[in-house]
Amino acid sequence: MKKKGDKHTHVEPTKSELEILQVLWLHGPSTVRFVNDALNEQLREVQYTSTLKLMQIMFDKGLLQRDDSQMKHVYSAAIEENKTKGFLLDRFISSMYNGSATKLMQQLLGNKKTSKEELDAIRELLKEAEKKNK
């Protein structure tokens, strides 16, 4: 399996790259055809050649790993889902809410009807956060 170096650990994926990463995080190592079919089912019509080219670029950037030991190349995410989402969320909170998670939560809860189940889950997260801060 070919890997790119860790020098690209803080490359910020584009929207299209994130869509591909979401497929790979959900389904694991996959061929370009599988990823392209998943994007077409989930999002919108995407040409196979566009998916192939973007995945090759992502490999070059260090976002993907590629197993080319067989006829069909199999790609997998080279970056961790939680770390990537955490990094992107931190950047978003910093740029949009001056680093305030409170302002983000107020905006989220103020803009959308939140179900009882979602509110219960948020309460549990708050309890866990309080325990960690004691």
pLDDT in tens, 1-13: 555 544 445 678 9
Pairwise CA distance, residues 25 & 78, whole Å? 10
Q: In this predicted model, what pLDDT tens digit does every residue of 84-128 receive, in sequence order?
A: 999 999 999 999 999 888 888 888 888 778 888 988 998 898 899
How much is the pTM? 0.74
| Segment 14-50, tens digit of pLDDT | 999 999 999 999 999 999 999 999 999 987 889 999 9
What does the DSSP assignment read for 8-69?
Answer: GTT----HHHHHHHHHHHHH-SEEHHHHHHHHHHHT----HHHHHHHHHHHHHHTSEEEE-S
Task: Please tell us whether the domain made up of 6-81 is placed in CATH 1.25.60.10.
Answer: no
Domain ranges of the chain: 6-81, 101-134
